[in-house]
Amino acid sequence: MSSTKLYLYTRFERFWHWAQAALIIVLLVTGFEVHGSFSLLGFGTAVTVHNFCAWTWLVLYAFIVFWIITTGEWRHYVPTFVKMFEVIQYYMSGIFKGEVHPVPKSERIKHNPLQRITYLGIVSLLVPFQIVTGFLYYVYNDWLAFGWALNLFTIAILHTAGAFAMLAFSVVHIYMTTTGHHPLSHIKAMFTGYEELETKEKM
């Protein structure tokens, strides 16, 4: 099997990917500790670290959104149904038969239809949802002053539900990185920026 290299991920793109990865991991760990699932840092420290990471991510998120809009990268997140069925079929059967991915990566198409819809959903729904519910949770003591008649239980439940969704996504996402040309090639690409592409010719 031979391969060609394609520069797909710019420096800032790689930075925000890994920065978010780190933030998500720390937020999940500290968040579930605050939730009471386990005891690791101690409740007080977990809250402080969680809040710090949340603010960090909020700033980073603003930069990412700005970058995606201004660089035109948003085009890669426009949802499409073209070849979606083929991609689903590929992951359900083709991958076991050694077939070639129906939507090969290119400079024009960085994400397959499944990735597009997932990433768009996360960046435009799940993350803002976590920001909003998390912020409401954070300003709990000022609800009365703001005149909000909210219930902490409801807010906490919503925020936790978002966390579970993020955790489930992370599991699948991490697994999917192993489906490249080589089990580590997608991960490597997120460090170097170069994605190795499978070529049509076979040995």
Question: Between residues 6 and 181, which has the closer beta carbon with respect to another protein?
Answer: 181
Distance (Å, whole) CA 95 – CA 180: 10
Question: Between residues 45 and 124, which has the closer beta carbon with respect to another protein?
Answer: 45
Question: Between residues 116 and 159, which has the closer beta carbon with respect to another protein?
Answer: 159
Under 8 Å between Cβ of 93 and 45: no
Minimum separation from the CB atom of position 131 to another protein (A): 15
Positions touching another protein (CB under 8 A) are 34-36, 39, 42-45, 47-48, 51-52, 55, 59, 62-63, 66, 70, 91, 95-98, 140-141, 151-153, 156-157, 160-161, 163-165, 167-168, 171-172, 175, 178-179
Question: Between residues 78 and 139, which has the closer beta carbon with respect to another protein?
Answer: 139
Distance (Å, whole) CA 96 – CA 203: 18
Minimum separation from the CB atom of position 127 to another protein (A): 17
Minimum separation from the CB atom of position 166 to another protein (A): 10
Parallel, antiparallel, or unpaired: how do β-strands 194-198 and 3-7 relate?
Answer: antiparallel
Minimum separation from the CB atom of position 156 to another protein (A): 6
Minimum separation from the CB atom of position 82 to another protein (A): 24
Q: What backbone torsions phi and psi does residue 73 show, to the nearest 5 degrees? A: -65, -20
Question: Between residues 176 and 190, which has the closer beta carbon with respect to another protein?
Answer: 176
Q: Which residue has the tokens 């059967």?
A: 93
Give one word for 19, left, alpha or beta, with left for phi > 0 and alpha for psi -120 to 50: alpha
Report the run of H or E that residue 57 belongs to, with start and end: helix 43-71
Distance (Å, whole) CA 2 – CA 123: 35
